[in-house]
Structure 1
Amino acid sequence: MTDTRAQFRPEDHPNDHFLLTTVVGSYPKPKWHDRARQLFEDADADFDEDAWAEAKDDAARLITEEHERSGLDVVSDGEMRRNEMVEYFAHLIEGYEFNGPVKVWGHNYFDKPSVVDEVEYDKSWLVDEFEFTDDVAGRPVKVPITGPYTLASWSFNEVYEDDAELANELADLVNLEIEKLVEAGAKYIQIDEPALATTPDDHAIVGETLERIAAGVPDDVRLGLHVCYGDYSRIYPEMLDFPVDELDLELANGDFEQVEVFTEPEFTEDLAMGVVDVHDATVESVEEIKENIVRGFEIVPPEQLTVSPDCGLKLLPREVAYQKMENMVQAAREVEAALDAGDIDVPAAE
């Protein structure tokens, strides 16, 4: 496996060991961003498309800088331009249409799209977003993309024989988008497949779509897969065969009870492990997060561990999200120093 990780180590990194720190994707939007959206959607308001674009640019710039201030090695813009992980992409893909919200649970509604014609790639989805963020950022930028299996599973399919066929067609479009992102300079791309957690028996379909996505991706581009909130024993060790450099998994919310799932057979990919809980507004202390990070060494040695939140932080108060990130980075640096001093045992290296 090609080492795609070293390129993200800062030149002034303080320790010999390096635990890559990053985020999964989404982040709380500034309150004025939501107000700007309301104004833009109000036909009676004097707030046109240019004003809305400026508001999104300002929010993306602000959150990118907030990520950098927390000390993260790899940052994002917190998905300031995106509303929802399926809806956003469905609006950009030819063949989708929307027919109104669908009730998904309780009083929650989801604007579930329908595939009513063959899906086609009409224009780039994320290149402008990446180029803006990359220009603003002084650190490397990660690009999250909703994966084709989730795009298929969380849509009404009125055209293709089954969701597997639709997912494979969408995978080819994702591959085209990644080609454009790579041309623009992207080096770290994350495929989000939360739907796999709810239907883990479909891991073979996800594997096939990832093969299509990874085709032609240069060796120096880091490709990750994020799967959250599921019973990983139903997709491990099969997920080790996925053609990605990194598997990004939620473990903090389950109090790390699933760590043992990954100890046999050996975890051969890099692991991006959630060490702070995005569903709890309590800010974990640096000491607590250090303990969480060390649990990762039961699965992989430090050179294979990425430290991140469980999932996107968007549901938390913004000040809580920031403090979780800052504490997480501080914890990672302190664990590195302890590793340098030989004060931490690494079971996965034995």
Structure 2
Amino acid sequence: MVKKFACVALALGVLTTLVACVSTSTSDSANGVDTVLVEGFGAEYQDLFEEQIAKPFTEETGIQVKYSAGGSGAEQYAAIRAANGDPGFDLAVMTSLELYQGSRDEMLTPVTPQQVPNMARLPQKLLNNTYGVGAIQDIQQVVLMYNRTAFPQPPTSWGVQWDPEYRSGALIFNPANILGVYALLNAAELDGGGIDDIDPGFARTVELAKYALATPTRSAEAVPFMAKETATAFPYLDGRAAIYSKTNNYDFTVPREGTYASLGSLGIPVGATHKDSAYKLIDYWLSEEVQQRWALAYNVGPAITGLQFSPDFAAKHITTPEALEEIKIADAATVVKNRTEWSRQWAEAVR
């Protein structure tokens, strides 16, 4: 009899454990609380998201937003793929490269104007880079960050990084960071190469690595060099560049050769629990008022056109149809196909 009761108790204990393991998101839904779980970038991005997006969205809709800071866009997508489309969050902040992968792998949910009416506001050039499985919420561009003391006037070419007077303060970003990919493309184009002929970019990387100050992986790793003013000129994204130009002796510019865009993107995993809430959050983010507010807070270009910005802001960021038309967007299929090999070649070049 004791043995029988023990077995019953064990079974009840297992049942209790299983019930306790049900996610908090399911519990929220059962309690009638609409929720959306967002996985995105950390540091200042999380702070801005909470203040500029999550808090006012909840006030307007009643939907609770729970944000977790993850890694890069590539790392967010790796989590989605590893979980076979059910990573435990409803919306991922990534880049358009991950949207391409999600479309190819069928790991992201379709996003169209039917579910997200404000998608209709996106210019066709941006819509083409959503691959039907996400939205683009902002546009960054790769800029040349420079030390104001070393350059009383803004440098006019990406090639200044190889100038003997400045190369000892150069930073060579790892292609594991998308910034490193675009830096390689810009370097290749200086000598007639490009996305389909990257070798000139690696040749320049080998040369610069002999003198460079550091080879960072994450954008934040550049900050100490700016604080000490040892960096001279290096590629950066305009969002962070604008932040640190206000607190350090640095400014940023787009050289005459032009540059590449990095498209901030939102994707919903196919196994997401709160898809309707995720759609609503995307639609909110793409509204005119929020687009303007987010662009000014994060120092980036908006995903929709027709908004008004000051001349100083517009001069530094992609805010007009003309600027969007001019900026280059790297072919996602080519980047995704070659990125692992480019990272291997980069490691050989800088060792």
Greater share of residues in helix: 2
With normalisation by structure 2, the TM-score equals 0.28
Structure index of larger Rg: 2
Q: Which has the higher contact order (CA 8 A, sep 6+)?
A: 2
With normalisation by structure 1, the TM-score equals 0.28
